[in-house]
Structure 1
Amino acid sequence: MITMREAHGGGVDVTISLSRDEAAALGHFFDLADWFDTALWGLSLLRTGESYRGPLGAETGPATAAQMATVVGHLDHRLIPRLEGIRNAAIRRHAELGGSVGHLALAMDAPRSTAQYRREALLAKVPGGFEDWAVNGGPRRPKHS
């Protein structure tokens, strides 16, 4: 469950609530939360051209190349590969559970033929490192993927 409330300074605090069992299954997930935070911060930087972060405005002002590099690094090397691993594991599990290609196509918002092609291509491969990470947890950065 996600809740939002007014934050100090007139902003918004977003709270993601996990059950005890969900939190236990995830283990250390604080890096993921940080990378999601960076994604939202990056979106704000792109839309406004300004940074509104930092203690007492330490990082406020026009967006910088260094800030954009942080956004790219957190997304490209950290968050996106893990999201792809979660997605691939979900597609694989959907097939294992007898999910239809039609339902997968609806979930992907893609034609049935595209969903079938993507699922068949995925199932023909051994799960990659980030897919294994999604299912089994483990090290923060899989050795291969």
Structure 2
Amino acid sequence: MSNISFREDAAATNGGVDITISLTAEEAAAVGDLGPLADAFGGALWALAILRTGVVPADQDEETDARPARPATAETWATAIHDVEQRLLPRLEGIRDAAIRAHATSGGSYGQLARALGVTSRSTAQYRRDTLQDTAPSDWEIWATTGTHPQH
């Protein structure tokens, strides 16, 4: 698993927190273009901050028309929902589903899968894996294993 570090307060770019996820050269090459995934994750963190404060933070870029902090609006929430629903969740679901298939292929047990999924019933894990294996991989699952971007 990659190393994660944090740079906080005055040392951070915007005075808050910078999150650094370090990948080996091999991991970075395998992942490929990190921009869309990092941007989707950043959008989810942005939404979480607004949910907890009710305020859209001030723009930090002083070279543009920076806007002051302002109350969240319906458009703010539509953007947050879009970022999570259409940009982050499909990628995470593709990674999860591909990992479940890989777990099965490598001889993983239903008991192991149940623990990994956080379910108490082995039969629930069996149902989830068997249902997944009865379908073709989704576009996002293919993306997770090959890096080929879905045509959406």
Aligned residue number for residue 51 of structure 1: 56
Give, in angstroms, the shift of residue 47 of structure 1.
0.9
Determine whether 1:36 maps to 2:41: yes
What percentage of aligned pairs have identical amino acids?
51
Out of 45, 53, 64, the residue aligned to residue 73 of structure 2 is 64
CA RMSD across the alignment: 1.5
Residue identity in the other structure for 2:91: R
- TM-score, length basis structure 2: 0.87
Number of aligned residue pairs: 142
Residue identity in the other structure for 1:35: A
What's the secondary structure of 1:44's corresponding residue? helix
Residue identity in the other structure for 1:132: I
Aligned residue number for residue 4 of structure 2: 2
Determine whether 1:122 maps to 2:132: yes
- TM-score, length basis structure 1: 0.91
- Pair 59,124 (structure 1): closer, same or farther in 2 beyond 3 Å: farther
After superposition, the C-alpha distances for 1:69-107 in whole angstroms (9 at most, x for unaligned) are 111111111111111011000000000000111010000
What's the secondary structure of 1:81's corresponding residue? helix
Structure 2: distance between partners of 1:88 and 1:59:
41
Residue identity in the other structure for 1:60: A
Bigger helix fraction: 1
What's the secondary structure of 1:138's corresponding residue? coil
Once the two structures are superposed, the pairs formed by residues 98-117 of structure 1 within 5 Å of their partners are 98-110=107-119, 111-117=121-127
